[in-house]
Amino acid sequence: MNSLFLFLAAVLAGIISADMFVRGWNGFLECAASLVLFFQKKIPAKTFLSRLSGAVPMTILCFLLLILCFKIYYSILGFGGSELEQLGYFLGAVPRTGYYLISAGKMIDAMFKP
């Protein structure tokens, strides 16, 4: 029972951390795309600031939650040491990251549309 709990906790930590990373990374890419479009004079300052006001808080929040997830999981709870937990984390993180990688091209293209 204890091993099953650790495995499921690792899967959940993998899903949460991968999702927070993907969302934070998307926010960062949105900021970069907005900067590029603004300096190429393809979007006005109002649109630039509007895009940043959505992307910057999302980026900061997601990366802080990612750090918090790792802090709780590894430091406070002390999980993540066994091979079963590492396998569970992998099985949780890979599908979310894989789904992102499949759709990343379309999302990045959408970010560069004025």
Please give the share of the chain, as a percent, with pLDDT higher than 90.
75
Residue-wise pLDDT tens digits, 40-88: 999 999 999 999 999 999 999 999 999 999 999 888 888 888 898 999 9
pLDDT score at 113: 87
More confident residue, 15 or 80: 15
* Distances in whole angstroms, Cα of residue 2 to Cα of each of 41, 62, 85: 58, 30, 11
pLDDT tops 90 at residue 24: yes
**Domain of residue 96, residue span:** 2-111
Contact criterion met (CB below 8 Å) for 7 and 84: yes
The domain tally of the chain equals: 1
